[in-house]
Structure 1
Amino acid sequence: MASVAPEVEKKEEEEQVVNPWEVSAGKGGIDYDKLVDQFGCQRLDAALIDRIARLTGRPPHRFLRRGLFFAHRDLNEILDIYEKGDKFYLYTGRGPSSEALHLGHLVPFMFTKYLQDAFKVPLVIQLTDDEKFLWKNLTVEESKRLARENAKDIIACGFDVERTFIFSDFNFVGGAFYENMVKVARCVTYNKVVGIFGFTPEDHIGKISFPPVQAVPSFPSSFPKHFSGNDQLRCLIPCAIDQDPYFRMTRDVAPRIGYQKPALIESRFFPALQGENTKMSASDPNSAIYVTDSTKDIKTKVARTL
C-alpha cells in the first residue's frame, strides 16, 4: 500500500477552520489546544474553577467540571472585581437561523443561567437577526420571526426576569448603541477586519460592517436605561470558541474609546449526532436534536447514526 506523502499528511492535520460562520476540521476533529494558541486566550485551569466555587458558595457547574467550558480571557479579573464586592454583567447571544434551538445552542444559555444565579448579576441577550439576514438567504421579516421564535426557547431556560434584557438588533439598534457602533467602526481598518474574520473582495459590505454590532453590547453605555452611570462596568461573555474573533477585535478597540475590555469564558463545540469530532449545526437538521423534536423524531435521528 502506498504511503501518504508527509506534506499531504501534514496538510490534512492542519485542515481546521474556526470562525463565527464556519467550523470544520480534518480527520482528527477540532484541535482545541491549537485554537487556544491561535486565538491567544488562556486555558481554564482547576485553580480558577475552585475559585468560582469558593466565591459563589456553589459546586462548580458540570460544564466546568467536565471541561466543556475550557478557555477564557481575563476571567481572573472578573473574579477579582466580584471578590472586592463590586458587580459585573453578563452578555451572550444567538444568531437566529432555525425555528428552534438545538442542544448545542442551549449550552451557553444553560451556563449563563448558572452564572447569573451564582453571581446575581444583570444579563443582556442579543438576537442578531440582522446578521442572519446578511449571511443567510432570509428576508428581513423571516429573520425577525426566527428571532421571536428563538427568544421563546431562551426565555424557557429560566433567567431572572428582573435582571435580564433580551433584544433583537433590527428592533433595538440606534441611539447610544449606534453611537458605540460607529466609535468601534472608526477604530478598525479594512485590513484589520479582513485579517480577523477572513473577509474576501467578494463579500458584500454588509458583512464587513457587521462586527461592531456584536461588539458593543459588551459596553454598558450601549444600554443607558439599564446601566446609567456605570459606563466602566465590566462585562463577562459566555460563548462558544468560534465567537472569539468578534471579541478579540472588541478588546483591542475598547481602551481606545474609553471602555473596559470584556472578559470571556469559552466553550468547546457540542458534538453532532455523527460523532464526537463534529459540531451540531442548524444547517444540517440531521446532525442536531432540537428542543421541539418529538420522541419519534429523536429516535429516528439517533437510529440513523447507529
Structure 2
Amino acid sequence: MSTTNEPDHVPPVNDYVDEATNVDDIVNPWEVKAGSNTGVDYDKLIRRFGSSKVSDDLVKRIERIIQKPVHHFIRRGIFFSHRDVDQILLAYEQKKPFYLYTGRGPSSDAMHLGHLVPFIMTKWLQDVFDVPLVIQMTDDEKFLWKDLSADETNRLAYENAKDIIACGFDKDKTFIFSDFDFIAQCPKFYRNICKIQKCVTYNQVKGIFGFGDSDCIGKIAFPAIQAAPAISSTFPFIFGEKQKQELACFIPCAIDQDPYFRMTRDVAPRLNFPKPALLHSVFFPALQGSQSKMSSSDPNSSIFLTDTPKDIKNKINKHAFSGGKASIEEHREKGGDCEVDVSYQYLRFFLDDDEKLQQIREGYSSGQILTGELKKTLIEILQKLVADHQVKRQQVTDDIVREYMRPRELKFRY
C-alpha cells in the first residue's frame, strides 16, 4: 500500500484474462462481468489494481481498536481489499479527525439488495468510529451515461436518498448531496474539481477509464467530480472555512469504483491533500448467477427494496441459480456447490449468525440440506429484511430528505 508521495499504480480499465481458465473478467465502473460461474477472481483483481488484501492481522487490529467484533461483511471477506486502512486506524488511535465518503448513482426508482451493501458497511463504520459522512448522489453522471433527462436523474437522487436514509444514518453526522444541486451552491467544490481536472491529462483519463473518441466531453470531465468529495475543503460548512490542513478521507465502495480513487490518490500529493483510504467490497451476484448482470430494467435479476413478500418468494424459487444436483438422490450422494449457489451466497451477505451459516454450508455441501430448504431459509430472511426496510422508508418524508441534504455543520468528536 502507498503511504508516501509515490504515484499509485493506475492501470487502464479494460478486460483482463484469467490465465488459469482462459476466460475474460470485465471490471470497470460501468460494467462487471465474470468469466467463470464462480464469479470474479478477486485475488487476481487485487494484483491487477494494486490494492492490498484485508488480512487477518488487519481484522484483529480493527477489533483491538474498536473493542468489538468487526462486521460480518469484513469477517467473511465481503469487504476484502483496501488501500491505507491502516492509516485510518492510526489516525483514530491518535485522535486525528477523518471522515467517511460514499455515494450512489441514481438511475432507477427502486434500489436492489446489492445497492444496500456499501451503505450497510458505511453505517457500521460511522457508528464505530463516530465520524461525519458525506454521500454523493451522482445524478449528473447518470444523465451523461444513461438515456435519462437531467430532471429525471435529479428526481431519482431524492427518491434514492430516502432508501439511504432508511439505513439509519445519524442525521447530525451525515450530509447527502445531489451534484446537480450542490455544486452551484458551493464554490469550494467547483474549485477543487478544477484543481483535479488540471492535474489529469486527456490521455491519462482515457487510459484509466477507457473513454473513446465518440464519448461526450461530460464523461471525460466527470471523474474529477467524483474525486472532489475526497478533499475535505470541498465541505467548508462541515470542516471550517479556515481549515489548517485537509482531513483524511475513508471511502467504502465496491471495487469497480476503484479507478476513480486511484486517479484521486495519484493527484493528491500535487494538491497537498491526503490520499483517500478505501475499503472494497466484492460484487453482489445476480439471481441468475455470478456470470449474469443485475439490471434495474430486469426485475427478475435481483431482489428490489420495493418487492413484496410474494415477489421475493417467487424470485428466489424461480430464478435463484442453484448449486444443487439434478436429482434428490444425486444431491444426497454428492451434495451441493455453495460456491455457485446464489441462495447460499445471499446468505453470506444477510445471515449474520456465523454458526448457523456454517451449519447451512456443511449441510448443503454434504447433501443433508436440499436446494428447496436452502431457498426457504433465504426467503424468510429477505422477506423480513425488505419489509423492515420498507417500514423505515415510509417514515422518511420529503422534509427529512431536505434536512439531510441541507449544507450545515455536522457533529463529530474532534
Q: TM-score, normalised by structure 1?
A: 0.94
Shift of 1:203: 0.9
How much has 1:289 moved relative to structure 2?
Answer: 0.7
Confirm or deny that 1:256 pairs with 2:270.
Answer: yes
C-alpha distance in 1 between matches for 2:121 and 2:274: 23
Computing the radius of gyration over CA atoms, which structure comes out larger, 1 or 2? 2
1:69-88 correspondence runs (5 A): 69-88=79-98
Match of 1:185 among 187, 194, 197: 197
Which residue of 113, 117, 124 maps to 2:123? 113
Quote the residue 2:33 is aligned against.
Answer: 24
| 1:206 counterpart letter in structure 2 | G
- Once the two structures are overlaid, the 10-residue window that deviates more, 161-170 or 53-62, is 53-62
Distance 1:70 1:230, change over 3 A: farther
- Distance in 1, matches of 2:292 and 2:130, equals 34
Pair 50,278 (structure 1): closer, same or farther in 2 beyond 3 Å: farther
Tell me, in whole angstroms, the C-alpha distance in 2 between the residues paired with 1:10 and 1:127: 37
Corresponding residue number in structure 2 for 1:3: none
In 1, Cα distance between the equivalents of 2:178 and 2:165?
14
Alignment of 1:140-151 (within 5 A): 140-151=150-161
Residues 220 and 233 of structure 1 are in contact (CA less than 8 Å); yes or no, is this contact kept in structure 2?
yes
1:66–1:280 Cα change, 3 Å: farther
Where do residues 1-306 of structure 1 align in structure 2 (5 Å cutoff)? 13-28=22-37, 29-174=39-184, 175-228=187-240, 229=243, 231-278=245-292, 280-305=294-319
Q: 1:5 corresponds to which residue?
A: none
CA deviation after TM superposition for structure 1 residue 10, in Å: 5.7
Contact 1:13 1:27 in 2 (8 A): no
Aligned residues: 299
- Measure, in 1, the Cα distance between the counterparts of 2:305 and 2:261: 29
Give, in angstroms, the shift of residue 279 of structure 1.
Answer: 5.1
Question: Per-residue CA shift, 1:217-241, capped at 9, x if unaligned?
Answer: 0000000000112642100000000
Aligned partners of 1:269 and 1:280 also within 8 Å: no
2:252 match: secondary structure: strand
User: Gaps spanning 5+ residues in structure 2: where?
Assistant: 1-16, 321-414
Amino acid in the other structure paired with 1:210 = F
Query: SS of 2:108's equivalent?
Result: coil
8 Å CA contact 2:189–2:228 kept in 1: the answer is yes
Distance apart, 1:85 and its partner CA: 1.6
1:100 Cα deviation from its structure 2 partner: 2.0
- Residue identity in the other structure for 1:19: N
Q: Is the 8 A contact 1:90 1:121 kept in 2?
A: yes
CA contact (8 A) 2:18 2:24 kept: no
C-alpha distance after superposition, 1:160-204 (max 9, x if no partner)? 111100000000014100000000001101110011101111111
Identity of aligned residues (%): 61
Aligned CA RMSD, in angstroms, stands at: 1.7
CA displacement, residues 87-129 of structure 1 (integer Å, 9 cap, x when unaligned): 2100000000111221100000000000000000000000000
* Residue range with higher mean Cα deviation, 275-284 or 162-171: 275-284
State the alpha-carbon separation in 2 of the partners of residues 25 and 167 from structure 1: 32
Contact kept, 8 Å, 1:58 with 1:118, in 2: the verdict is no
The answer to whether the 8 Å contact 2:18/2:25 transfers is no
Matched residues in 1 for 2:40 and 2:281: separation? 12
Conserved 8 A contact 1:183-1:257: yes
With structure 2 as the length reference, what TM-score do the two structures score? 0.70
1:59-96 CA-to-partner distances (Å, cap 9, x unmatched) read 11010111100000000011011111212100000000
Distance 1:87 1:277 in 2: 41
